[in-house]
Amino acid sequence: MDDLSWYGVRCVFRHRRLGVYEERVTLWTARSSDEAITRAEAEAVEYCEGLDGTEYTGFAESFRMYGMPEEGAEVFSLMRESDLPAGAYVGKFFATGRERSG
């Protein structure tokens, strides 16, 4: 692909001192998913340098956006196959009671 597109890239970090993992989604313009991930991973290293006891886990995945970022734009999407009912699915993967958000 020769044209630049917007990508949302999710990277996972471990904050040892806090005892938590963090998922961050950052936005990048790039010619491919691989290029966006490469740029996000470089930023991930810089992010960790500013936070004592934080490490990048090496996990990144990208989502190519369609169009320009604007209010309500989808910046990341992940689909996972599961036979769990909705409440059990959310409880297992998202609302476990151990999240820190804000």
The predicted-structure confidence for 47-98, as pLDDT tens digits, reads as follows 999 899 999 999 999 999 988 899 988 888 888 888 988 888 888 888 777 7
Distance CA 92, CA 27 (A): 27
Residue 100: inside a domain: no
- pTM here is 0.82
Residue 67: inside a domain: yes
Distance CA 102, CA 20 (A): 14
Q: Which residues of 39-66 are buried (b: 16+ CB within 10 A; e: fewer)?
A: bbeebbeebbeeeeebebeeebebbebe
**Token representation of residue 83:** 């036979």
Residue 98: inside a domain: no
The domain containing residue 21 runs over which residues?
Answer: 5-93
Count of domains for the chain: 1
Residue 99: inside a domain: no
